[in-house]
Amino acid sequence: MRASGQVTIITPTTGKPSLDVLIESIARQALGEAAFHLLLWDDVRYADARAPESYNSKTRMSLVLPPGLGRNGRAPGSALRAVALMATTSPWAVFADDDVRWEENHLASLFTALAGLQWATTLRTIWSPEGIRLGVDRFESVGDDPGRRVPYEMCDNNCMIFRRELGTAAAVLYRETRDYNDDRLMYAFLKAKAGPRGRTDTATIHHTCPERLVEFFRTNCSEH
């Protein structure tokens, strides 16, 4: 892998159409030239998905992994993320699932929020599969912030940037979990090991939630 740049973007994918939307939003980044995009696949494919190798470019690479690796119990994509964390060579890493798209200032805002720190987080706007805006997530993207609207602490995978070395150390958490909780494990790890957290305090991600979570997000999201 001839990765270059300051940050590796990690995307487990089945090749759904929204992957192309994500890639287009990455191309519009103010700091897009600093990024290398790593796509992780196993044998599960969205209907009519493009071949993984068709996505390869100077700044993007597909890794196709053994059948079934993308699901470990109830942890879809976690083992794929573990492989990516070990393969990353850039100083920084971020996750971008294939159901998100970024504002043009997403990467720039995260790097500004770092300000000498080892990790930072941003907020996300949640959308239904039908394209209805459900609001801004200020409960599962805010960690231990006092204003969070849930009793637990968590930052969604898509909302974090962190040093590569921290991702390497945390890869085992992604590889071994069998629950739908890898982002909670990563947040707890970074809170314990990475020092103070930077914050963009703005929503720079658009995330389309699955139908089963629409009412959950509709209930908990904030208007702004």
Pick the CATH number of 7-220 from 3.30.1360.120, 3.20.20.140, 3.40.1260.10, 3.90.550.10: 3.90.550.10
Per-residue model confidence as pLDDT tens digits over 102-158: 999 999 999 999 999 999 999 999 999 999 999 999 999 999 999 888 899 999 999
Q: What pLDDT score does 2 carry?
A: 46
How many CA within 13 A on the CB side of residue 220? Answer: 19
Q: What pLDDT score does 71 carry?
A: 85
Q: Residue 4's pLDDT band (boundaries 50, 70, 90)?
A: low
Averaged over 213-223, what is the pLDDT?
Answer: 95
Q: Residue 183's pLDDT band (boundaries 50, 70, 90)?
A: very high
Is this structure's pTM higher than 0.85? yes
Give dist(CA 183, CA 63) in Å, integer. Answer: 22
Higher pLDDT among residues 70 and 164, named by residue = 164
What residue spans define the domains of the chain?
A: 7-220
Q: Residue 1's pLDDT band (boundaries 50, 70, 90)?
A: very low
Q: Which of 70, 55, 69, 63 is nearest to 22 (CA)?
A: 55
In angstroms, the Cα distances linking 133 to 146, 193, 208, 222 are 25, 35, 9, 11
Q: Please answer whether residues 110 and 122 qualify as being in contact, where contact means their C-beta atoms are separated by less than 8 angstroms.
A: yes
How many CA within 13 A on the CB side of residue 21? Answer: 14
Q: Name the DSSP letter for residue 157.
A: G
Farthest-apart Cα atoms in the chain, separation: 45
Strand 75-76 versus strand 7-12 pairing type: unpaired
Per-residue model confidence as pLDDT tens digits over 5-58: 799 999 999 999 999 999 999 999 988 788 999 999 999 999 999 999 999 999
SS3 77: coil
